[in-house]
Amino acid sequence: MRIILYLLQKEFLQIFRNKTMLPMIFALPVVQLIILVNAATVDMKNIRVTVVDHDHSVQSQRLIQDLDASLFFEVGDLQVSKEKGLDLMRRNKTDVLVYIPNDFSKKLHTSDAAPLQIINDAIDVQRAQLSYGYLSEIIQKLSVEWHTNPSLLLEQQQIKIHSNYWFNPELNYKYYMLPGILVILVTIIGLFLSAINLVREKEIGTAEQINVTPVKKYQFIIGKLMPFMIIGLVELAIGLLIGRVLYGVPFNGNPLVLFSFATLYLLVILGLGLVLSSRSETQQQVMFLTFFFMIIFILMSGVFTPTENMPEWALKIDTINPLYYFVKVIRSVVLKGAGFSDLWPEFRSMGIYAMVSVSLAILSYRKTT
């Protein structure tokens, strides 16, 4: 026990003396949470619409007004031909092209259907889908209003959809993003710091010097795990505090639930970091390896894209992605107020994962070659 305490003291002494690492440890959460939370938004605003109006009727004017009034759209120059409009899209000057043919208002009055053409720049698929969604909504509303057949109108209005968004009623994107970014933050701290730290000892030869001392394997591993565990949990607390102060993210759950899960999660991540470092000889190698895992874990975690959209096989792979669980848990606890009983399956998986990861770390660290 005394040896472990001394190893910890040594570790912290080194961390607090590291003039490059220390500022990073504390600058990282602040920068990430201030910049990333604001920048990594999928909220659609200012979609550029070009309307090619060949009809010049009251109805077409009304459609343009409604588009312009919407927060999502920004209607550009109206005096353009269809060719000019297409050219604008090619040169990336507009996102959507709405073509109103000259018989639009006439058909509205006479026939069942009045065709409109919408041309969407689908380079950015997500943006195209969303703008299509918003556009159809506006057009749908208008068409109901204009519908010449009052009986049909009545029939349609019999089904009344009233949506409620639970747990994030204002659909505040930051509430959703902040916990996700926090997961990435804790992961970077845990994985990179632990992996680099052990390889550094190998590189400068101190690992070998420790090997000829009576320090036991498990003591050495605990000495390496604990400091980064503590730093990781402190970062999480700082991050939640920043979220509360800057973005007003509510904390609906029990902090104990979140921090117990974070402890398990950090055990997994730190263990993985140590395993990776025992497979590497230099800091360069371990950085590359860690980066490889980080990218896959983050992109498949559900921080940026919903995991529900992933194909079946990818979801299966995700069951070994620790980030996937943590992202789910942190959002459930922070936004939904989920407790131990709600998150039991995640706790169980992460617990098993932690045991495997730490055992592997102890096994892969060799005292003799």
Hey, what long-range contacts does 203-209 have (CB within 8 A, 24 or more apart)? 203/281, 203/282, 203/283
Nearer residue to another protein within complex by CB, 159 or 212: 212
Q: Of 5 and 153, which CB lies nearer to another protein in the complex structure?
A: 5
Q: In degrees rounded to 5, what are phi and psi of residue 193?
A: -65, -45
Provide the pairing of β-strand 73-75 with 117-120. unpaired
Positions that interact with another protein (CB under 8 A):
2-3, 6-7, 10, 13-14, 17-18, 204-206, 208-215, 367-369
Nearest approach in angstroms of CB 228 to another protein is: 17
Report how far residue 277's alpha carbon sits from residue 355's, in angstroms, rounded to the nearest whole number: 18
Burial (CB < 10 A; 0-12, 13-18, 19+), residue 240, is: buried
CB 279, min distance to another protein, A: 18
Nearest approach, Cβ of residue 204 and another protein (Å): 6
Cα(146)–Cα(175) distance, rounded to whole angstroms? 39
Type of residue at 265: Y
For residue 352, the minimal CB distance to another protein (Å) is 32
| Residue corresponding to tokens 């007003």 | 248
Pick between residue 35 and residue 204 the one whose CB is nearest to another protein: 204
User: In the bound complex, what is the minimum distance in angstroms from residue 277's beta carbon to another protein?
Assistant: 17
CB-wise, 278 or 357, nearer to another protein? 278
Cβ nearer to another protein, comparing 6 with 288: 6
Residue 53 φ/ψ, nearest 5 degrees: -100, 105
The distance of closest approach from Cβ of residue 43 to another protein in the complex, given in angstroms and rounded to an integer, is 45
285: how many CB neighbours lie within 10 A of its CB? 15
User: Contact, 144 vs 156, CB < 8 A?
Assistant: yes
Closest to another protein by CB, 7 or 354: 7
